[in-house]
Amino acid sequence: MAKEYANLINGKPVPARSGKMYENRNPADQDDLVGVFPSSDAEDVNDAVAAAKAAYPEWRALPAQARGDIMRRATEILVKHKEEFAELETREMGKVIKETRGDVQEAIDTGFYAFGESRRLWGTVAPSELPNKMTYVTRQPMGVWGMICPWNFPMAIPSWKLFPALTCGNTAVIKPATLTPASVDAFVGALHKAGVPEGVVNIVYGSGSKVGEALLHHPDVCGVSFTGSSEVGKRIAEVTGKNLKRCSLELGGKNAQLVLNDADLDLALEGVLWGAFGTTGQRCTATSRLVVEAGVYDKMLEMVVEAANKLNVGNGLDETVEMGPLVSDGQRNTVHEYVEVGKKEGAKLVLGGEPLAGGDYDKGFFYKPTVFADVTPDMRIAVEEIFGPVLSVIKVKGFDEGIKVLNSTRYGLSSAIYTKDVNRAMKAVELIEAGITYVNAPTIGAECHMPFGGVKDTGNGHREGGWTAYEIFSELKTVYIDYSGGLQRAQIDNA
């Protein structure tokens, strides 16, 4: 029997008020039922927000270091259960076990980083313009945060949100992606075992249209952190904007790897294979476009097609498998629709372009690694996010055109340039419109202690990851202390 999950409200399992449930099945093997989860709605969100609100005063009153210590203990639990959690993630999300180990590791790194930051939570001190007076800035928690999570990093991304938010002294209601809820249950379980008090973190399972919308509109939610599509992100910005609430958005990408004539092509090949087909192309940072200078275009294309064709696609629990399934049938259909669009637009399909069928493939949502050649920068497959194992290869005349093509989408998350010319590498760093640029490394693989996010339609200026996450989840308080014993009027007595 598959495990039946309940929402977690005030530390207790609570079924959805509607009593409705849904099944979570393995995308590599639909016979494998991972669990049955509640389909919640607004009433459940109200209960969870009330619990988070009630837990807030006590949690915010703890010294930050004490909160950080709980984060450390939770992280040690993740270390202990890394293999078990990685297997669970692969079962519900499909990406290969090596990558889900990396996903849990990213949560571990983020947790230990939070432990460190809990002893800093920097403010600044400045001299006052008046004598016998000082002024400084300190950080304060904000209240109840709503967190809406994606399915592609089932544990890492919830950890990017929860670790810093909790360390700053906030409480939270988290909505896992409907496709990957068990990983959030495992993660929050570790937080509770480590000593996070009841009500500080609450989980409400269910759809974006019900649970997400309710969180978004709830008057007691002080901010919403969301990772997902730009379309939904705009909706979240609209509602939170209207209500003067903070929102942190990490949205779509159409990331490109630029390969110049002088590049180490073997290195560029390894980079694009990992960037385009790792996580079955389902990363916001995935390499979706390979932009190649004319002198090495034919060679690079030939190398990519040959290597991508050899990728071992299958169930991610098998250590020898290099690429897992798409996360759902819906996602596979979207990918296939884009392939049809690409063909109609006149791009040359040189590899893949169809689902993998027969034998065990019929149990899941497998798709062939797909490569389009002779893509032009205005085609839809060159500008729209596909979120699947589809690579569009574009030929450019030189560096300037390459940069122009890189910048010709509405997104701006990650980017990469392969060259041995340090001058052009530095110029690319200056000119590429993206939140992240890699030199001689693929577009995926950001490190947890560095700011993560993008420009243009990829976000709204916030950066989760690193110190900048702590800026998102805290409010500044400016303090003036006058120890003169008299009234000192700024801008008047000292003018």
Applying CB under 6 A, which of residues 445, 455, 468, 488 lies at the interface with ligand UN1? Answer: 445
Distance between CA atoms of residues 308 and 287, nearest Å: 13
Q: b/e string for 83-106 if b means 16 or more Cβ within 10 A?
A: eebbbbbbbbbbbbbebbbbbbbb
The site for ligand UN1, by CB under 6 A, has a size of: 10
Q: Which of 106, 117, 213, 250 is catalytic?
A: 250
Strand partners, 255: 287
Applying CB under 6 A, which of residues 173, 204, 308, 444 lies at the interface with ligand UN1? Answer: 444
Applying CB under 6 A, which of residues 152, 171, 437, 458 lies at the interface with ligand UN1? Answer: 152
Q: Which among 178-186, 200-208, 278-286, 404-412 is the span making contact with ligand UN1, rule CB under 6 A?
A: 278-286
For the question of residue 222 being annotated catalytic, the response is no
The closest residue (CB) to ligand UN1 is 446
Output 98 or 217, the one with its CB closest to ligand UN1: 98
Q: Between β-strands 201-203 and 12-14, what pairing exists: parallel, antiparallel or unpaired? A: unpaired
Helix axes 97-117, 64-80, angle to 10 degrees: 160
Q: Which residue, chain included where needed, has tokens 């300037």?
A: 400
Distance between CA atoms of residues 178 and 13, nearest Å: 18
Name which of residues 91 to 110 contact ligand UN1 (CB under 6 A).
Answer: 106
> Nearest approach, Cβ of 443 to ligand UN1 (angstroms)?
8
Q: Which of 168, 247, 284, 448 is catalytic?
A: 284
Written as six digits, the tokens of 199 are 């009500």
Output 7 or 458, the one with its CB closest to ligand UN1: 458
Q: Which among 132-140, 301-309, 368-376, 444-452 is the span making contact with ligand UN1, rule CB under 6 A?
A: 444-452
Strand partners, 291: 258, 394
Written as six digits, the tokens of 385 are 């996010």
Is there binding between residue 451 and ligand UN1 (CB under 6 A)? no
Written as six digits, the tokens of 39 are 């389909």
Q: Which among 186-194, 259-267, 283-291, 383-391 is the span making contact with ligand UN1, rule CB under 6 A?
A: 283-291
Output 103 or 471, the one with its CB closest to ligand UN1: 103
Q: Which among 167-175, 312-320, 427-435, 440-448 is the span making contact with ligand UN1, rule CB under 6 A?
A: 440-448
Contacts of 196 (CB under 8 A, 6+ apart): 70, 74, 166
Q: Count CB neighbours of 75 within 10 A.
A: 24
Is there binding between residue 285 and ligand UN1 (CB under 6 A)? yes
Residue 168 DSSP one-character state = T
Is there binding between residue 153 and ligand UN1 (CB under 6 A)? yes
Is there binding between residue 37 and ligand UN1 (CB under 6 A)? no
Written as six digits, the tokens of 404 are 């122009």
Output 156 or 371, the one with its CB closest to ligand UN1: 156
Is there binding between residue 284 and ligand UN1 (CB under 6 A)? yes
Applying CB under 6 A, which of residues 172, 182, 446, 469 lies at the interface with ligand UN1? Answer: 446
Distance of CA 410 to the CA centre of its chain: 18
Q: What is the DSSP string of 41-95?
A: -HHHHHHHHHHHHHHHHHHHHS-HHHHHHHHHHHHHHHHHTHHHHHHHHHHHH--
Output 236 or 446, the one with its CB closest to ligand UN1: 446
- Residues near ligand UN1 (CB under 6 A): 106, 152-153, 227, 283-285, 444-446
Query: Which residues are marked as active site?
Result: 250, 284
